[in-house]
Amino acid sequence: MRINSLTNGMFRWGVVRHYFDCVNCYELTSLEGAPEKVGGYFNCTYCRKLTSLEGAPKEVGGWFACSSCGELTSLEGAPMTVKGDFNCDNCKKLSSLEGAPIEIGGNFDCSRCTNLKSLEGAPEIVRGVFNCSECDSLRSLMGAPKEVGKSFDCIKCNKLTTLKGAPEKVGEEFLCFDCPRLTSLEGAPKKVGGKFYCSRCDSLTITDDDRRKYNIRDDRRLGL
């Protein structure tokens, strides 16, 4: 779509009770003029020229998605409250999670953000899944949420060398397999409600003590 602004015309959005969708607006460069509050979901995925989330709603009652926005560099301006999922995956120029909400009611997905070097600025609490897999520039987990309600995924992070900064508590699985430069499990969560998967990390030596301490399982059985 060739919409390049959300402020055109005399109409002001204010509050939208249901959902707001500006997906595939290839010429859109700003969210200025968007509703202040959306009761359902807010979707601005595939807005190729969007450089900032400034102007986004302050509150979203459902999920918020800004995935595949190729020029987006940070999450500054993101909603303060998102009660569902927050998806900012596949934003190739995203280099910072600063501006993300403090708490997410659902999942948080920043996977395949290949320029992301740090998790600083990530939500402190994620009630669902936290996914930072395939972030090729990510070197540590510093800044990760303190608590994740479901699984924590940092799969195929090719430059990840340490688990320092990982959440203190993960409600379900912890997955860090296929991280070729990971050399130690130091910093892993103190409590993982499910299994711990860390196979095919070529630089990692796993001891029997590690297996007992972290409840490590062989993920090859799962075909992963």
5 versus 68: the higher-pLDDT residue is: 68
pLDDT the model gives residue 202: 93
The model's confidence at residue 76, banded by pLDDT at 50, 70 and 90, is very high
pLDDT at position 210 is 87
Arithmetic mean of pLDDT over the chain? 92
pLDDT band of residue 179 (cuts 50, 70, 90) is very high
Cβ-proximal residues to 45 (8 Å cutoff; 6+ apart), any chain: 23, 24, 65, 66, 67, 68, 69, 87
DSSP state of 212: H
Residue 58 identity (one-letter amino acid): K
* pTM to 2 decimal places: 0.93
Which pLDDT band, with edges at 50, 70 and 90, does 222 fall under? very low
Which residue has tokens 């430069």? Answer: 181
pLDDT score at 13? 74
SS3 category, 95: coil
